[in-house]
Amino acid sequence: MSRMDRSGNPRVSRRQVLGAGLAAPFVARAGLVMGGATAGLPLVAPGARAADAAHSLTLGDTRLTVLSDGALVLPASTLAANVGEEERGAFLTAAGFDSAVRHSALNITLIRKGDALILIDTGAGMNFFAEAGQLADSFDEAGLDREAVTHVVLTHGHPDHVWGVIDDFDESERFPNAEYLMGAVEWDFWMDPDFLANNPEQIHSFALGAQRNLGAVAEKVTRVDADHAVVSGVTMIATPGHTPGHMSVLVEDGGEQLVVTGDALTHPAVSFERPDWQPSTDQVPEVAVKTRRALLDRAASDGLLLIGYHLPWPGVGRVEARGNAWRYIAEG
């Protein structure tokens, strides 16, 4: 970890990454450990693809395309670390979901706004989960050119959002002509040279992967604060809690608004109907609960469209208030 790039940020070599075991999923805090207590859990979702390659919609003159990066398969226990197994299982079963296994889509949004082509997150790459890392194929199948991407907005530094920045084999940039934007708080958290000394071992592998990928494009990354306009009508907004500096993206055009939520909302039943349940992947869970409630209240009150990174493909829907909670209504 002593090597630094020209901007003074830590660089991690391919040898270090592979040596740290980043080629396999490792989410100990979330209850997923290869070869451990969940070794019997299926790690590949059924079917050749988790979804179609692309789904498009318009907001005024803005065109949005949702691209599939595949899916993750996790224990259902990751949905609520602060709830007992019996209560969690009963709720999921009643809502029509598997009480043991969680299939989580990877929906990546591409925004065409005038001359700008803005990608929100880069997917998992090919070294995180067997059924993930399909973004490059989805670009090709949709007839889209990765070299035409002008901006890449990174909502946060978790593997399924930033491990697709560089190619897993030759370490070339997947989006070579893009400017990168990331929240300054989030960047500073993951790129801390003393990260391993200052943070739990369970997320060390996440940081090594983040530093490898983000370090490769460090000179192209603009670190921003909340309410930063990527281009007119596309704004990065603070939605912390899932990670310390997590951001979502607000799109406005034609009198309509849409929020690309990142991981502020991650499940079509739990996130909406049980917003106080704390997913084990939320790093600051109490803050994440407040963020979730505020975002859901705004979406329901203002009639916002949502695109959820982990909601069922293509992740497009709206929110309806229901008592002290909400309901997700899928569209498209």
Average pLDDT for 208-230: 97
| Domains in the chain, number | 1
Report pLDDT for 36. Answer: 28
Instruction: Indicate whether 318 belongs to any domain.
Output: yes
User: Residue 46 and residue 131: Cα distance in Å, rounded?
Assistant: 9
User: Residue 240 and residue 228: Cα distance in Å, rounded?
Assistant: 15
Among 212, 180, 216, 219, residue whose Cα is nearest residue 195: 212
Question: 173 with 122: CB under 8 angstroms?
Answer: no
Report pLDDT for 53. Answer: 82
Among 17, 35, 51, residue whose Cα is nearest residue 162: 17
Taking 80 as the threshold, does the pLDDT of residue 289 lie above it? yes
Report pLDDT for 9. Answer: 53
Please state whether 203 falls in left (phi above 0), alpha (psi between -120 and 50) or beta: alpha
Strands (DSSP E) contained in 155-225 are: 179-183, 221-224
Instruction: Indicate whether 4 belongs to any domain.
Output: no
CA atoms in the 13 A half-sphere facing the CB of 229: 5
User: Residue 196 and residue 214: Cα distance in Å, rounded?
Assistant: 16
Contacts of 305 (CB under 8 A, 6+ apart): 59, 256, 257, 258, 259, 316, 317, 318, 331
Q: Element (H or E) spanning 184, and its range?
A: helix 184-190
Which domain CATH number covers 171? 3.60.15.10
Question: 67 with 108: CB under 8 angstroms?
Answer: yes
User: Residue 221 and residue 322: Cα distance in Å, rounded?
Assistant: 40
Instruction: Indicate whether 156 belongs to any domain.
Output: yes
Report pLDDT for 168. Answer: 83
Report pLDDT for 290. Answer: 98
Question: 6 with 217: CB under 8 angstroms?
Answer: no
What's the pTM? 0.88
Question: 244 with 284: CB under 8 angstroms?
Answer: yes
Q: For strand 247-253 and strand 256-260, is the pairing parallel, antiparallel, or unpaired?
A: antiparallel
Taking 60 as the threshold, does the pLDDT of residue 7 lie above it? no
Report pLDDT for 51. Answer: 59
Instruction: Indicate whether 76 belongs to any domain.
Output: yes
- Give the angle subtended at the CA of 200 by the CAs of 194 and 202, to the nearest 5°: 120
User: Residue 160 and residue 30: Cα distance in Å, rounded?
Assistant: 14
What band does 130 get if pLDDT is binned at 50, 70 and 90? confident
Question: 226 with 247: CB under 8 angstroms?
Answer: yes
For 295, the domain range is: 14-42+53-330
Percent of the chain at pLDDT exceeding 90 = 80
Taking 60 as the threshold, does the pLDDT of residue 222 lie above it? yes
Q: SS3 of 97, please?
A: coil
54: how many CB neighbours lie within 10 A of its CB? 18
Average pLDDT for 123-140: 93
pLDDT digits (tens, 9 = 90+) for 10-66: 544 433 444 344 434 334 434 433 222 233 333 333 333 545 789 999 999 999 999
Mean of pLDDT over the chain:
88
Instruction: Indicate whether 1 belongs to any domain.
Output: no
Instruction: Indicate whether 241 belongs to any domain.
Output: yes
List the single range of 43-52, 74-83, 169-178 with lowest mean pLDDT.
Answer: 43-52
